Amino acid sequence: MTDRPALDLAQIREDFPALNQSVRGKSLVYLDSGASAQTPRHVLAAINKFYLEDRANIHRGVHVLSQRATASYEKARVSVQEMLGAAESREIIFTRGTTEAINLLAQTYGRSELREGDEILISHMEHHSNIVPWQLLCEQTGAKLKVAPIDDAGDIIFEAYEELLSERTKIVSIVHVSNALGTINPVKKMIDAAHDKGAIFILDGAQAVPHMAVDVQQLDCDFYAFSGHKYYGPTGIGVLYGKADLLQKMPPYEGGGDMILSVTFEKTKFNDLPYKFEAGTPNIAGVIGLGAAVEYMTALGMDAVSAHEARILEYGTEALKQVPGLKLIGTAKKRAAVLSFVLDGIHPHDLGTIVDSEGVAIRTGHHCAQPVMDRYGIPATARASLGIYNTEEDIDRLVLGLKRAIELFG
């Protein structure tokens, strides 16, 4: 790992204006970055500049504003390419988020390639957005959905995963980091095993990209998806990376402007990559904001980010273990910045309400991962998900809130 200076937490916290507020009369502690991270001034400034100075449509105008907007939009694409380690910028497709990216793959690659009896393999720890699109595809094609099991700690049972792979497996789609458990999957090993059977491999990177360096060429995944709003960028924007040869063969996802080269009533000729998959006026401000988020995170250094979050995660794990009646859900060998837990006799929703009264924001519920909850025989968990701005003091505030809940519920 490259040596980098530790993060300047005081400066980072100053970069996020939303953190400088009171909630319920107490200073805000934000522990819900896994749902949506806060947005730094650098990103807000980039979005404001577009709306204040450069608001115009892209790719179509010869006037100055359109040219400036187009340049910023395509600069963001190159920034994402470099951040992911993709070979070419045309392998970066802008979507509304991870969910749309996976649906795009199911309805383009999946519908054109899968036949009755083919198989799709996912895992038991998937987010709903990496389950439901494949169920729909199975209904449309007659393919079958297979599920790799996880153990009590929340790790993939690799031997069972390998056994489920066969010559019938056409698509493997796995989460890089679990949003409900924090598990970091051994994805390189899983990708190699899938490729040995001739399957393509899709990675849901929504919870990975904000916490660790990702190199899609080193991983050799065929597709990679993530969302801007978890990466300190705007909502409503995301990315689908795909190997160029696969993207070339895929039919368009939507029809409309900018995804065409020519249109007659008899025939339409589609545009080149990446524009074939970006129909209509895109979320220009969102793309520019995402590009600014990449700049911000790159300047911090992902090694430094990972090291800081690992320290806070370790501190939080030990602190929560000291809370009477608390049980951590997800204790995998390798975890990212997620602390999911239940507390004896107190429903997670009640926990969330009580700690909110103490100014602490956490997530409660099934986290769009109901099969994970079913695996552990629970309806929901409380989840504290960490970001670059969190500190040991934030964890201490969470623990105080949990002790307050214990007092209230006796």
Q: Rounded to whole angstroms, what are the CA distances from 103 to 132, 389, 405? A: 9, 32, 40
At 1, the pLDDT band (50, 70, 90 cuts) reads: very low
Domain boundary among 268, 284, 299: 299
Q: Which residues are catalytic?
A: 368
| 2 pLDDT tier (thresholds 50, 70, 90) | very low
Q: Is the pLDDT of residue 275 over 50?
A: yes
Q: 294 with 305, same domain?
A: no
Residue 57 lies in a domain: yes
Structure tokens belonging to residue 230: 């978890």
Residue 262 class from Cβ within 10 Å (0-12 exposed, 13-18 middle, 19+ buried)? exposed
Residues in the chain, how many? 410
**Pair (105, 218) in one structural domain:** yes
For residue 5, name the pLDDT band (cuts at 50, 70, 90). Answer: low
Asked if residues 143 and 168 have their Cβ atoms less than 8 Å apart, the reply is no
Same domain, 200 and 106: yes
188 falls within a domain: yes
**3 is a domain residue:** no
Between CA 259 and CA 31 the distance in angstroms is: 40
pLDDT of residue 61: 84
Question: Is-contact 372 381, C-beta < 8 A?
Answer: no
What pTM does this model have? Answer: 0.95
In a domain, 2, yes or no: no
Report the 10 Å Cβ neighbour count for 20: 10
Count of structural domains within the chain:
2
- Together in a domain, 63 and 150: yes
Predicted pLDDT at 191: 98
Q: 29-33, 149-153, 265-269, 293-297: which range is least confident on average? A: 265-269
Helices (H), 281-362: 284-300, 302-321, 348-357
- How confident is the model over 191-201, as pLDDT tens digits? 999 999 999 99
N-to-C CA span, the chain = 47
253, 409, 258: which is closest to 346 by C-alpha? 409
> Is residue 324 situated within a structural domain?
yes
* 275, 393: one domain: no
Does residue 227 lie in a domain region? yes
Please report, rounded to a whole number, the percentage of residues in the chain having pLDDT higher than 70: 99
Q: Domain boundary at 272, 299, 326, which? A: 299
In angstroms, rounded to a whole number, what is the distance separating the alpha carbons of residues 23 and 307? 29
- 184 and 310: one domain? no
Residues 368 and 222 in one domain: no
Q: How would DSSP label each residue in 282-295?
A: --HHHHHHHHHHHH
Looking at the fold, whether 324 and 263 belong to one and the same domain comes out as no
Position 379 in a domain:
yes
pLDDT of residue 258: 84
pLDDT beyond 60 at 103: yes
Whether 282 and 313 share a structural domain: no
* Domain harbouring 68, CATH code: 3.40.640.10
Residue type, 187: V
Q: Is residue 4 part of a domain?
A: no
Under DSSP, the state recorded for 5 is P
Cis omega (within 30 of 0) for bond into 282: no
Determine the Cα–Cα distance for residues 86 and 214; give it in Å rounded to an integer: 10
One domain for residues 69 and 192: yes
Residue 3 has pLDDT above 50, yes or no: no
Q: Answer yes or no: do 237 and 268 share one domain.
A: yes
Do 263 and 305 share a domain, yes or no?
Answer: no
* Alpha-carbon distances, residue 7 vs 42, 275, 336, 404 (angstroms): 17, 37, 17, 32
Which CATH number does the domain housing residue 364 bear?
A: 3.90.1150.10
Q: Which tens digit of pLDDT belongs to each residue from 132-183?
A: 999 999 999 999 999 999 999 999 999 999 999 999 999 999 999 999 999 9
Q: Which of 299, 320, 340 is the last residue of a domain?
A: 299
Write out the residue range of the structural domain in which residue 309 sits. Answer: 9-36+301-409
